[in-house]
Amino acid sequence: MCASMKHQMLSQTFKDTKGCGITWAKMLNVSIAVAYPELRLLDSQCDVGIGALAPLQCLLRKTVINPEEALATLLQTVNDSKDPIVMEFWQLLQQEEGLLREKFKECELVCKTLRTKPGCMSAGTLQVQLCEYRQWRNFIARKKYSLLKGDPMMNNLPSKRTAGDSKPPARRQKVDNDAQVDGWCFAIVLYVSLSLSLSPVEGWKG
Protein backbone atom coordinates (compact mmCIF):
# COMPACT_ATOMS: atom_id res chain seq x y z
CA MET A 1 0.00 0.00 0.00
CA CYS A 2 1.43 3.40 -0.99
CA ALA A 3 1.97 6.23 1.51
CA SER A 4 -0.98 8.19 0.13
CA MET A 5 -3.40 5.31 0.65
CA LYS A 6 -2.04 4.62 4.14
CA HIS A 7 -2.54 8.26 5.06
CA GLN A 8 -6.10 8.31 3.76
CA MET A 9 -6.92 5.06 5.58
CA LEU A 10 -5.47 6.23 8.90
CA SER A 11 -6.97 9.69 8.63
CA GLN A 12 -10.44 8.34 7.92
CA THR A 13 -10.12 5.81 10.75
CA PHE A 14 -9.31 8.58 13.22
CA LYS A 15 -12.05 10.92 11.99
CA ASP A 16 -14.61 8.12 12.14
CA THR A 17 -13.72 7.49 15.79
CA LYS A 18 -16.17 9.10 18.19
CA GLY A 19 -14.59 12.11 19.85
CA CYS A 20 -11.85 12.58 17.23
CA GLY A 21 -12.04 15.39 14.69
CA ILE A 22 -9.77 16.77 11.99
CA THR A 23 -7.21 18.16 14.44
CA TRP A 24 -6.95 14.81 16.26
CA ALA A 25 -6.50 13.06 12.92
CA LYS A 26 -3.67 15.42 12.05
CA MET A 27 -2.01 15.09 15.44
CA LEU A 28 -2.13 11.29 15.48
CA ASN A 29 -0.87 11.02 11.91
CA VAL A 30 2.04 13.31 12.76
CA SER A 31 2.87 11.10 15.77
CA ILE A 32 2.85 7.99 13.56
CA ALA A 33 4.96 9.72 10.91
CA VAL A 34 7.59 10.61 13.53
CA ALA A 35 7.55 7.09 15.01
CA TYR A 36 7.73 5.39 11.58
CA PRO A 37 9.68 7.74 9.25
CA GLU A 38 10.19 4.94 6.73
CA LEU A 39 6.46 5.11 5.90
CA ARG A 40 6.92 8.66 4.50
CA LEU A 41 3.33 9.14 5.58
CA LEU A 42 3.15 12.94 5.45
CA ASP A 43 5.63 13.76 2.69
CA SER A 44 3.05 15.10 0.26
CA GLN A 45 -0.21 15.33 2.20
CA CYS A 46 -1.48 16.05 5.69
CA ASP A 47 -4.76 16.82 7.37
CA VAL A 48 -5.06 20.51 8.19
CA GLY A 49 -5.95 21.17 11.81
CA ILE A 50 -8.23 24.03 12.83
CA GLY A 51 -5.31 26.13 14.09
CA ALA A 52 -3.55 26.01 10.71
CA LEU A 53 -6.53 26.99 8.56
CA ALA A 54 -6.43 30.77 9.12
CA PRO A 55 -2.67 31.14 8.39
CA LEU A 56 -3.07 28.88 5.35
CA GLN A 57 -5.72 31.20 3.95
CA CYS A 58 -3.61 34.24 4.83
CA LEU A 59 -0.52 32.99 3.00
CA LEU A 60 -2.49 31.86 -0.06
CA ARG A 61 -4.52 35.11 0.01
CA LYS A 62 -7.78 33.36 -0.71
CA THR A 63 -10.59 31.49 0.99
CA VAL A 64 -9.70 27.82 1.34
CA ILE A 65 -12.38 25.34 0.28
CA ASN A 66 -10.30 22.16 0.38
CA PRO A 67 -7.61 22.54 3.09
CA GLU A 68 -5.60 19.49 2.03
CA GLU A 69 -5.37 20.65 -1.59
CA ALA A 70 -4.53 24.17 -0.44
CA LEU A 71 -1.74 22.81 1.77
CA ALA A 72 -0.32 20.89 -1.21
CA THR A 73 -0.36 24.11 -3.26
CA LEU A 74 1.50 26.05 -0.57
CA LEU A 75 3.95 23.17 -0.12
CA GLN A 76 4.87 23.24 -3.81
CA THR A 77 5.31 27.02 -3.66
CA VAL A 78 7.64 26.71 -0.67
CA ASN A 79 9.72 23.88 -2.11
CA ASP A 80 9.98 25.37 -5.62
CA SER A 81 10.95 28.87 -4.48
CA LYS A 82 14.42 30.13 -5.44
CA ASP A 83 14.14 33.38 -3.54
CA PRO A 84 17.45 34.31 -1.83
CA ILE A 85 15.74 34.36 1.58
CA VAL A 86 14.42 30.84 0.98
CA MET A 87 17.88 29.65 -0.08
CA GLU A 88 19.27 31.14 3.13
CA PHE A 89 16.60 29.28 5.10
CA TRP A 90 17.59 25.90 3.63
CA GLN A 91 21.26 26.60 4.35
CA LEU A 92 20.50 27.53 7.95
CA LEU A 93 18.27 24.46 8.35
CA GLN A 94 21.12 22.19 7.23
CA GLN A 95 23.41 23.73 9.84
CA GLU A 96 20.84 23.48 12.64
CA GLU A 97 19.89 19.90 11.84
CA GLY A 98 23.58 19.00 11.83
CA LEU A 99 23.98 20.43 15.33
CA LEU A 100 20.91 18.55 16.53
CA ARG A 101 22.10 15.26 15.04
CA GLU A 102 25.36 15.67 16.93
CA LYS A 103 23.57 16.46 20.19
CA PHE A 104 21.13 13.55 19.85
CA LYS A 105 23.46 11.12 18.09
CA GLU A 106 22.43 8.31 20.46
CA CYS A 107 18.77 8.75 19.49
CA GLU A 108 18.44 6.99 16.16
CA LEU A 109 14.82 7.94 15.57
CA VAL A 110 15.49 11.63 16.23
CA CYS A 111 18.43 11.65 13.83
CA LYS A 112 16.31 10.07 11.08
CA THR A 113 13.93 13.02 11.15
CA LEU A 114 16.74 15.60 11.05
CA ARG A 115 17.81 15.08 7.44
CA THR A 116 15.62 17.49 5.48
CA LYS A 117 16.91 18.03 1.94
CA PRO A 118 16.68 21.53 0.43
CA GLY A 119 13.39 21.96 -1.39
CA CYS A 120 11.90 18.89 0.27
CA MET A 121 9.86 20.16 3.19
CA SER A 122 7.11 17.65 4.00
CA ALA A 123 3.41 18.46 4.15
CA GLY A 124 3.40 17.39 7.81
CA THR A 125 6.17 19.84 8.71
CA LEU A 126 4.50 22.68 6.81
CA GLN A 127 1.17 22.04 8.55
CA VAL A 128 2.81 22.21 11.98
CA GLN A 129 4.72 25.37 11.03
CA LEU A 130 1.48 27.07 9.99
CA CYS A 131 0.34 26.77 13.60
CA GLU A 132 3.64 28.27 14.77
CA TYR A 133 3.23 31.07 12.23
CA ARG A 134 -0.19 31.86 13.73
CA GLN A 135 1.33 32.00 17.23
CA TRP A 136 4.10 34.32 16.00
CA ARG A 137 1.62 36.66 14.29
CA ASN A 138 -0.49 36.78 17.45
CA PHE A 139 2.60 37.52 19.57
CA ILE A 140 3.59 40.44 17.30
CA ALA A 141 0.02 41.78 17.34
CA ARG A 142 -0.09 41.76 21.15
CA LYS A 143 3.48 42.91 21.79
CA LYS A 144 3.92 45.56 19.10
CA TYR A 145 0.37 46.71 18.37
CA SER A 146 -1.31 46.08 21.75
CA LEU A 147 -4.03 43.93 20.19
CA LEU A 148 -5.03 41.87 23.22
CA LYS A 149 -6.89 39.29 21.13
CA GLY A 150 -3.99 38.87 18.73
CA ASP A 151 -3.97 39.17 14.94
CA PRO A 152 -7.59 39.11 13.66
CA MET A 153 -6.43 37.36 10.47
CA MET A 154 -4.98 34.51 12.53
CA ASN A 155 -7.96 33.93 14.79
CA ASN A 156 -10.79 33.54 12.31
CA LEU A 157 -11.32 29.91 13.32
CA PRO A 158 -14.46 27.77 13.09
CA SER A 159 -16.26 27.32 16.39
CA LYS A 160 -16.07 23.91 18.05
CA ARG A 161 -19.47 24.41 19.68
CA THR A 162 -22.92 24.70 18.21
CA ALA A 163 -25.11 27.77 18.73
CA GLY A 164 -26.71 27.86 22.16
CA ASP A 165 -24.08 25.72 23.90
CA SER A 166 -23.13 27.25 27.24
CA LYS A 167 -20.97 24.42 28.58
CA PRO A 168 -18.05 22.52 27.09
CA PRO A 169 -18.76 18.92 26.13
CA ALA A 170 -18.44 16.38 28.93
CA ARG A 171 -15.11 14.59 29.18
CA ARG A 172 -15.39 11.19 27.53
CA GLN A 173 -13.90 8.22 29.34
CA LYS A 174 -14.89 5.78 26.63
CA VAL A 175 -14.40 6.60 22.96
CA ASP A 176 -15.39 3.35 21.29
CA ASN A 177 -14.38 -0.30 21.05
CA ASP A 178 -11.14 0.51 19.21
CA ALA A 179 -9.94 3.40 21.36
CA GLN A 180 -9.21 3.75 25.05
CA VAL A 181 -8.92 6.94 27.11
CA ASP A 182 -6.34 6.63 29.87
CA GLY A 183 -7.81 8.56 32.82
CA TRP A 184 -6.99 12.20 33.46
CA CYS A 185 -3.66 12.25 31.65
CA PHE A 186 -5.87 12.01 28.54
CA ALA A 187 -3.84 9.53 26.53
CA ILE A 188 -5.71 7.88 23.68
CA VAL A 189 -4.48 4.54 22.38
CA LEU A 190 -5.79 3.55 18.97
CA TYR A 191 -5.17 0.23 17.24
CA VAL A 192 -4.62 0.67 13.53
CA SER A 193 -3.14 -1.52 10.82
CA LEU A 194 0.19 -0.23 9.52
CA SER A 195 0.95 -3.43 7.63
CA LEU A 196 -0.61 -6.88 7.81
CA SER A 197 -0.70 -6.94 11.57
CA LEU A 198 -2.26 -4.65 14.15
CA SER A 199 0.11 -2.39 16.02
CA PRO A 200 -0.71 -0.21 19.04
CA VAL A 201 -0.07 3.44 18.31
CA GLU A 202 0.05 5.72 21.33
CA GLY A 203 -1.24 9.20 20.67
CA TRP A 204 -0.56 12.54 22.30
CA LYS A 205 -0.38 12.90 26.05
CA GLY A 206 -1.13 16.16 27.74
Does the reported pTM lie above 0.75?
no
The total number of structural domains in the chain stands at 1
What is the per-residue pLDDT across 182-198, written as a single tens digit (0 to 9) for each?
433 344 455 555 554 44
Q: Which residues pair with 187 in a beta bridge?
A: 182
Asked whether residue 69 is assigned to any structural domain, the reply reads yes
Asked whether residue 113 is assigned to any structural domain, the reply reads yes
Give the C-alpha separation, 134 to 131, whole Å. 5
User: What pLDDT, on a 0 to 100 scale, did the predictor assign at position 191?
Assistant: 54
Asked whether residue 14 is assigned to any structural domain, the reply reads no
Asked whether residue 149 is assigned to any structural domain, the reply reads yes
Asked whether residue 78 is assigned to any structural domain, the reply reads yes
Asked whether residue 120 is assigned to any structural domain, the reply reads yes
User: What pLDDT, on a 0 to 100 scale, did the predictor assign at position 15?
Assistant: 92
Asked whether residue 144 is assigned to any structural domain, the reply reads yes
- What domain range is 84 assigned to? 49-158
Q: Which residues pair with 174 in a beta bridge?
A: 180
With a cut of 70, which residues of the chain have pLDDT below it?
Answer: 156-206
What is the per-residue pLDDT across 153-162, written as a single tens digit (0 to 9) for each?
887 665 543 3
User: What pLDDT, on a 0 to 100 scale, did the predictor assign at position 28?
Assistant: 93
At residue 86, what are phi and psi to the nearest 5 degrees? -65, -40
Asked whether residue 53 is assigned to any structural domain, the reply reads yes
